[in-house]
Amino acid sequence: MGHSIQSGEIIGGRYFVVYALGLGEWGHIYLAEDIKCDRARRVLKEFSPKPSHTARLEKTAQLCDREVQILAQLKHPQIPQFRESLRVKHRERECLFFVQDYVKGLNYRELLQIRQQQGRCFSEGEMIRFLGKILPVLGYIHDRGLVHGNLAPENLILRNGDSLPVPIDFGGIKQAIATAVNFPPPEKPGYAPYEQVQQKIILPQSDLYALAVTVLVLLTGREPQNLLERQTLDWDWQQVKIRPEFAQILQKMLATEARDRFFSATEVLNALNPLMQPTVPEIETPELDLPPYPPPRSWGQKLLFFFRTLILVVFFSAVAGAMGWFAGKVWIDRQVARYNREKEAHILAQQPLEAPETLSFPPKGDRAVRQAQNQALRDRCAQLGVDYSFFTDLVEEEEAAQEQNFLDTKEDRAALEERLLEKLSHLSEEARLGLGDYEMEQREEWIEEVNQLHLSRKAFFDLADGKFFDHFPEKQGEDFQDRAIAQVWQGILFDTFNALQSGSAIEEIILVPGAFSSTVRGTLEPGTGKAFILRLEAGQQFELSLDTDHLTQLSLYGPRGEVAFLEDSRNGTWFGQLPEDGYYEVALVSQDSEPLDYQLNFAIVDP
């Protein structure tokens, strides 16, 4: 099923389509920019009816428009704002779109897949913190008489920047579509409770059930059908390695009958509160100040508020419609002309983007050519998953640095963009997605987890610095922490963190009784490094030696990184008496332009 909308098209005279994000249950999902709202990023979810359902499009639009109006009243920092339902004619075909704010980040299904590639899942502590951050959002939704109705790992995004979970894909719109086309709504097997599947009743307690199933999936990496016994509807708790207190809370959320579950999200939070104390250390993340929300309204108050709102909407719609008709025609004519210009620019940009020469353009001055250049750059950023706004900031920062340093061979803009894109391509896709949104708090979280591997901040940074300065040698000795390039360094730090967590960048050297030496051989690619840890004792005479014919930096740190016996040394040997017990750290980083072979020797002399 190909994309019905192409990059560069404008939908409804307002939404400039950047590219397709994927395929949902009812149609394609697109990333777009709102040209009426300072190019703010939106998500366009398309409802593409089958030919047999086209006649029901009017009913579908009415039901969905009502649902969107209800959801648009939700004003919470962890809920992306619903904007509108949009019915347009595209290429002689009626289309319906749902417009919502874009949330940058990975959903929990994608995060779980990354964890599973590393041989692990989410921990109990992470899930307790996750519940502590998502339950207040559900409480806010439920207090307003609404239910999400579609919770699953795919529909919860870990937002970049503040690391808060954000619910997406509310079930109300899907239910409205299903009602209009007389077709069962798509449901994720195992996440919906009995009353939702069999009785078609959706309660706040239904969300609590789906949330608990989501937690079990993230803890085990197993799907609900592999955790639930279909005959007895009992969950297989032997697969879930958590404390009994936490298991009891999840079991109550997973009760078959809704009346046996917790009454509200707040009640679950109160039960979880003792588990959030020092026994489960909290990773600090920047918290958003939530506005004071009004108390829940009674149904009578809600009906009165609804009719008052309806009367005001009808009145102002009539006035605005009369005024808007005259201005609208002029505005539409302008937008059509702009659309034609942007379409022409997009056609110019449809050429292969991998080769460096694709960013080489004719002399400046031609507006269409400059538009094509910008669109080509946007496409390159989209291919790499790099935020376009961040990348332009990075390019401008590097241009200013070249001006300030009075370089004789200053790069032109296109060459600079190509060079930076090539360097960013060496980061993992997940690291590139975070560029522009990394925070100091995230870095401290990674350091805290690396410390659990008996590795200090110093050794951790040594490995990241090796790769960063291999790509950006001109940054040596500069203080760039407040600049855009610091985001690239933190992206490399994120990849280094993942390499340490997976075990590919760290190795424990164990000197077994009777054998007081050990030799490690390996190969390092340019700019890469590896850490080694050894459990040693105070008073031991320890010798470290490195054999290689290539350029390297070698560091030897005492326990917790408090003492540096060697630091970024090109001299590959050290011998001396150890001052204390603990884990000693060795960080080896390649500074060569070619892959290098090395041999590291560890020995306790005269034990």
pLDDT at 1: 45
What is the average pLDDT across 149-163? 90
User: Does the 1-102 domain belong in CATH 3.30.1330.10?
Assistant: no
Look at residue 71 and give its three-state secondary structure. helix
pLDDT band at 281 (very low <50, low <70, confident <90, very high): very low
pLDDT at 336: 46
At 416-425, the pLDDT tens digits run 888 899 999 9
- Looking at the structure, give the CATH architecture of the domain made up of residues 454-469+497-605: Sandwich (2.60)
Largest interatomic CA distance in the chain: 95
Phi, psi of 349 (to 5 degrees): -85, -5
Question: Which 8-state DSSP code applies to residue 186?
Answer: P
pLDDT at 167: 93
At 505-535, the pLDDT tens digits run 999 988 765 667 889 999 999 889 999 999 9
What is the average pLDDT across 429-448? 88
Q: Give dist(CA 326, CA 10) in Å, integer.
A: 22
402: closest CA among 412, 392, 414? 412
What is the average pLDDT across 110-139? 92
Residue 86 has pLDDT above 70, yes or no: yes
pLDDT band at 196 (very low <50, low <70, confident <90, very high): confident
Counted residue by residue, the chain has a size of 607
pTM of the model: 0.48
Phi, psi of 434 (to 5 degrees): -90, -10
pLDDT at 549: 81
Residue 356 has pLDDT above 50, yes or no: no
Residue 343 has pLDDT above 80, yes or no: no
Of 39-43, 61-65, 384-388, give the lowest mean pLDDT range. Answer: 61-65
In sequence order, the 6+-apart residues with CB closer than 8 A to the CB of 320 are none
pLDDT band at 67 (very low <50, low <70, confident <90, very high): low
pLDDT at 298: 52
Residue 198 has pLDDT above 80, yes or no: yes
Where do the CATH 1.10.510.10 domains begin and end in the chain? 104-286
Handedness of CA 397, 390, 442, 273 (dihedral sign): positive
Q: Give dist(CA 367, CA 221) in Å, integer.
A: 52
Reported as type and span, the H/E element at residue 568 is strand 564-569
Q: Give dist(CA 126, CA 204) in Å, integer.
A: 24
What is the average pLDDT across 180-187? 50
What is the average pLDDT across 395-413? 71
Where do the CATH 2.60.120.380 domains begin and end in the chain? 454-469+497-605
Q: Does 55 or 501 have the greater pLDDT score? A: 501
At 450-507, the pLDDT tens digits run 999 999 999 999 999 999 988 888 888 777 777 889 999 999 999 999 999 888 999 9
What is the average pLDDT across 131-137? 95
Where do the CATH 3.30.200.20 domains begin and end in the chain? 1-102
Say whether 45 counts as a known binding-site residue: yes
Reported as type and span, the H/E element at residue 319 is helix 299-349
At 532-559, the pLDDT tens digits run 999 999 988 999 999 888 888 899 999 9
pLDDT at 111: 93
Residue 346 has pLDDT above 60, yes or no: no
Q: Does 62 or 485 have the greater pLDDT score? A: 485
pLDDT at 318: 64
- Answer CATH for 104-286 from 2.60.40.1120, 1.10.510.10, 3.40.50.10300, 1.10.3720.10: 1.10.510.10
